[in-house]
Amino acid sequence: MEKLEKKKFFSGIAWSVGERFLLQMAQFSVSIVLARLLLPSDFGLLALALVAVNFLSIFIDGGIGAALIQKKDMDDLDCSTVFIFTLISSLIIYAVIFLAAPAIAGFFGDERIVLLVRVLSLVVVPHALAVVPGSLARRELIFKKLFWVSVGATNVSAVVGIGMALMGCGVWALAGQQLSSALTKMFGTYLAVPWRPRLHFRPDRFRRLFHFSGNMLMSSMLGAAYDNIYTILIGKCYSSEILGLYSRGERIPQLIAGVLNNPICNVLFPVFSRCQHDPMQLRRIMRLSLIGTMLIICPLMIGLCACARPLTLILLGEKWLPSVPFLQVLCLAYIMNFAQNINSNVILGLGKAGLVFRLELVRRTLAIILIVFAIKLPLMIFVWSQVLISLVGFGIMAWPNRQLIRYSIGEQLQDILPGGVISFAMGGCVWLIGNAVSIPWMGLLLQVVSGIAFYLVFTCCFNQEILRQLTPFMLLGLDKLNTRIPGKRIMRSTLEYFCK
């Protein structure tokens, strides 16, 4: 990439990661307050109510926003066409969810979620209205404006959620948080992006955009159906309390994924799209992205798995300790999802959405076959099946890039393996320290400090060549963070050492 593109690229990652970090941390903080005020069964009810809302919400965007980003000659008529489509789709979807709420409650055997489903489904309208301006911002990599929009939405939703929790609203505190966040983000996005909708709809423009987004829609539908299948099956076959424990165990891995995976992919997709005619440059960018991402993700997830028990005890209390096994297994399952999504974004950046859909179809089909067999086994074996499915999914999504950009599965694993081995060794040491200390907060502190020191020392000793390649890009990204960060000068000096 040219120097200007590099700056824009890493500026986008910095602001996008910052946006997701504040958003997820605020939501996580609110969820901790609610977890201490509510029962696991309340979180289970919320998870059941969100299944239908999250799945049908895919039809609002369905990849049409990504089509705006990917299209080279996009103009205002394309944007207006997409706006009309998403608005009408959201109204239809809300009506469908409203009418289907009793049937959804009947399926899960709990009438309490009828009103909850109908209220939560209101979020589809503001989400639909924000599709076009949000896509325009991502297309131009102006994530700084989206960052401040998310800051405002996060603050408003945090006040609403915590306030409702303190007033004794129970599970409705989470519903209020999500609704207020969606509304605030919608208004903020229109203030940040100088685009206003026009009532113009061109069927020919829609057909061109849908040619790209239609495959992504089918792929997203398969993904959403799979992502919710564990929630559906656990909610159907077990109690809402078990589902609440499972959803709580999944919350922290989801937090890490939301902070890192989603924003990085949001930035990588337009960058990959711009390099679609230069396979070697695309391979280089993907390789650096994959290595850098996994050097962060592996120690985070494995370290979290090792110190899950004291962390849960300190943050949530003893009543949530049964969620620890779910948390540990799901941390391992989420690791390869990051590598899988990077491979998928490369293929999408090349304009091959149809190939992504076919790969997703194969991946989801194999996953469903494994799940059908696993549901008859004990609950924890059923949950462990996610780890196997994650590994298989990575292999499927990485396979085409052997031909497309000459970056094979073996080469990718070779780049990932050193950091993974060091991370597992670190996790073993951290786990032993946690078992040796009986005081939770002291054990957690020792685990974190020793884990960071162990990983940094061994990474610097055995991954020097990789660190030298990544250091110039990390320095550029650090420079784009204009805010004052504690230890920023020390971090810069350390990174400059690896440039030598």
The type of residue at 160 is V
How many separate domains does the chain show? 1
Residue 69 within any structural domain of the chain: yes
Residue 16: pLDDT over 50: yes
What mean pLDDT is predicted for residues 170-175? 83
Residue 418 within any structural domain of the chain: no
Mean pLDDT is highest, among 173-177, 396-400, 460-464, 482-486, for: 396-400
Q: What is the 3-state secondary structure (H, E, C) of the chain?
A: CCHHHHHHHHHHHHHHHHHHHHHHHHHHHHHHHHHHHCCHHHHHHHHHHHHHHHHHCHHHHCCHHHHHHHCCCCCHHHHHHHHHHHHHHHHHHHHHHHHHHHHHHHHHCCCCHHHHHHHHHHHHHHHHHCHHHHHHHHHCCCHHHHHHHHHHHHHHHHHHHHHHHHCCCCCHHHHHHHHHHHHHHHHHHHHHCCCCCCCCCCHHHHHHHHHHHHHHHHHHHHHHHHHHHHHHHHHHHCCHHHHHHHHHHHHHHHHHHHHHHHHHHHHHHHHHHHCCCCHHHHHHHHHHHHHHHHHHHHHHHHHHHHCHHHHHHHHCCHHHHHHHHHHHHHHHHHHHHHHHHHHHHHHHHCCCHHHHHHHHHHHHHHHHHHHHHHCCCCHHHHHHHHHHHHHHHHHHHHCCHHHHCCCCHHHHHHHHHHHHHHHHHHHHHHHHHHHHCCCHHHHHHHHHHHHHHHHHHHHHHHCHHHHHHHHHHHHHHHHHCCCCCCCHHHHHHHHHHHHC
Between these two residues, 42 and 331, which has the higher pLDDT value?
Answer: 331
Q: pLDDT band for position 475 (50/70/90)?
A: low
What local confidence, expressed as pLDDT, does residue 296 receive? 84
- Say if CB 215 and CB 199 are below 8 A apart: no
Q: What number of CA atoms fall less than 13 Å from residue 146's CA on the CB side?
A: 28
pLDDT digits (tens, 9 = 90+) for 115-159: 999 999 999 899 888 888 887 777 776 767 777 887 788 888 888
Q: How many residues does the chain have?
A: 500
Residue 219 within any structural domain of the chain: no
What local confidence, expressed as pLDDT, does residue 483 receive? 47
Contacts with 163 (C-beta within 8 Å, 6 or more apart), sequence order: none
- Distance (Å, whole) CA 309 – CA 128: 40
Note down the domain range covering 63.
1-212
What local confidence, expressed as pLDDT, does residue 95 receive? 92
What local confidence, expressed as pLDDT, does residue 473 receive? 52
What local confidence, expressed as pLDDT, does residue 138 receive? 74
What mean pLDDT is predicted for residues 67-94? 81
What mean pLDDT is predicted for residues 332-343? 89
Residue 311: pLDDT over 70: yes
Residue 266 within any structural domain of the chain: no
- Distance (Å, whole) CA 286 – CA 343: 8
Residue 8: pLDDT over 60: no
Which range among 389-393, 445-449, 468-472 shows the weakest confidence by mean pLDDT? 468-472
What mean pLDDT is predicted for residues 74-87? 82
- Nearest Cα to Cα of residue 124 among 68, 178, 190, 44: 178
Residue 254 within any structural domain of the chain: no
Residue 257: pLDDT over 80: no
Which range among 269-278, 285-294, 308-317 shows the weakest confidence by mean pLDDT? 269-278
What local confidence, expressed as pLDDT, does residue 317 receive? 84
Residue 45 within any structural domain of the chain: yes
Between these two residues, 292 and 402, which has the higher pLDDT value?
Answer: 402
Residue 211: pLDDT over 60: yes
Residue 184 within any structural domain of the chain: yes
- Distance (Å, whole) CA 251 – CA 50: 14
Which range among 165-174, 341-350, 491-500 shows the weakest confidence by mean pLDDT? 491-500
What local confidence, expressed as pLDDT, does residue 4 receive? 44
Between these two residues, 397 and 497, which has the higher pLDDT value?
Answer: 397
Model pTM?
Answer: 0.71
What mean pLDDT is predicted for residues 33-50? 81
Residue 218 within any structural domain of the chain: no
What mean pLDDT is predicted for residues 35-54? 81
- Distance (Å, whole) CA 286 – CA 326: 31
